Amino acid sequence: MLRLLFQRGVTLLLRPAALLAEGFLIPDANVLVFVLPAAAMALTLSSIPVHLDFFRMASHATSTRVERNYISGLIILSFISIVLLAGLLFLSKSSLGIGFAIIATFISEKFADELTRFYEFNKKYSLWFVAQMSRSMWLFIPIGLALAGIHYIISFCALASVAAVVLAWRFFSATGLRPVWNRGGFMLIKANVPFLGSSALLACHRQVPRLFVAFLFPQVAHVFQALAQLGQGVSLIFNVRYQIPYRKVIARRPLTFERLFRRPFLRIGGLSLVGAALGLIIGDSSYYSIGAFAWVGLGIAMLADALAFSLLATYLGLMSWFLAPSQALPTLLKMAVFFLVAFFSTYGAWVFLDGPLVLAPIFTTLLSLGSIALIKGRHLDGKHHA
């Protein structure tokens, strides 16, 4: 377990370091504060679980049909996501450089995500570590080139393209799969479309606050996103303790897994609620008078948010393993209403009431805990068999 913590801890530090390096070393550069959240949102939105059948089956029993449907679904999802992302960037009148950087980064993130999932499921943790390091290390190269006098956005786009090609090649090489586009991929996506709701909720939950801070508070956007990334250290410990060793149990007996850890999960939820309250008390300072205590409060609230989000991601993941898409859809729609309420409450407090920056992680923590209560009440309480 200590080795897993070390590996994930090292990879966790890379992106906050890249964000801070861009913010402090390159004047007026706001590439990463927009590219990373936008690419991450597209990645999460494209994460309809087309991999479920592929990973449910034992490796010796995996059929050619399942493999072909999985890779076809993956390619189709990636293509649709790229087209939609390009359209949204065009409508938002983003610059060509930023738009290309977001799309190339999304492609690299998509194949890195699938590659690391494959390594993790097969317990190849050393290869997982190498893939995760490669996923983030390239972000420092454009910064170094910019300090050497080379145009930052051009070098960023070039390196993002190289990362996308290398990670895609490595995914196909590691899995032994070959690109294919068939009807089975379309049917797999269609069958799991309702789970797009959970992907959309996770994407909005994590990335919308970061993008809005980048728009509304550009002076502190790099530090805010770096703190948010560091807050994921809590998620790191959570995943090493409760997720990674139990991947196959979660896939094959999800309700057994939930019953096994129900009490610890309740305690973790209570701890995140206490952290959110403490963060609000300490960090209740407006952006215009932000000081040391406000940053401390913001950091505590972000840790609580990361903890609650880890729980939410776990429960949403469980839903995809034991519920039919049609059963999950009503719950996901109610969660979407929760998100809209939290979003407009936060945005309104910032714009009209000069609310503190700490409201972002406070509202997302409450959103996570409320969504978990909804999932448990509708689908888990009273179940007695996996």
Which range (112-126, 136-150, 174-188, 259-273) has the least confidence?
174-188
- What is the reported pLDDT for 142? 95
pLDDT in tens, 17-46: 999 999 889 988 889 999 998 888 888 777
Please say whether the beta carbons of 286 and 349 come within 8 A. Answer: no
Question: Tokens 């194949």 correspond to what residue?
Answer: 111
| DSSP per-residue codes, 54-80 | HHHS-GGG--HHHHHHHHHHHHHHHHH
How far apart are the C-alpha atoms of 348 and 327, rounded to whole Å? 33
Per residue, the 3-state secondary structure of 163-191, as one string, reads HHHHHHHHHHHHHCCCCCCCHHHHHHHHH
Q: What is the pLDDT of residue 232?
A: 72
Q: What is the pLDDT of residues 347-379, one digit of tens each?
A: 787 777 777 788 888 888 998 999 999 998 888
Which pLDDT value is given to residue 289? 46
Residue 373 near residue 270, CB atoms below 8 Å:
no
Query: How many CA within 13 A on the CB side of residue 13?
Result: 5
Q: Is the pLDDT of residue 285 over 60?
A: no
Q: Which pLDDT score, from 0 to 100, does residue 386 have?
A: 42
pLDDT score recorded for residue 237:
76
Lowest pLDDT segment from 142-156, 167-181, 233-247: 233-247
- 3-state DSSP assignment of residue 48: coil
Give the bridge partners for 356, in sequence order.
286
Domain boundaries, the chain: 2-193, 253-380
**pLDDT higher for 40 or 291?**
40
Amino acid at 345: S
CA distance 305 to 232: 9
Measure the CA–CA gap between 33 and 218, rounded to whole angstroms: 9
The token pair at 119 is 């390594």
Note the pLDDT of residue 137. 93
Mean pLDDT of the chain: 81
Q: What is the pLDDT of residues 230-275, one digit of tens each?
A: 877 777 777 777 776 777 777 778 888 888 888 889 999 999 999 9
The residue type of 242 is Y
pLDDT of residue 68: 79
Average pLDDT estimate for 63-72: 77
Maximum CA extent, the chain: 64
Give the Cβ contact number of residue 82 at 10 Å: 17
C-alpha closest to that of 335 among 378, 370, 380: 370
CA–CA separation, 146 and 22 (whole Å): 10
Give the separation between CA 153 and CA 146, rounded to whole angstroms.
9
For residues 104 and 160, the answer to whether their CB atoms sit within 8 Å is: yes
CB of 115 closer than 8 Å to CB of 174:
yes
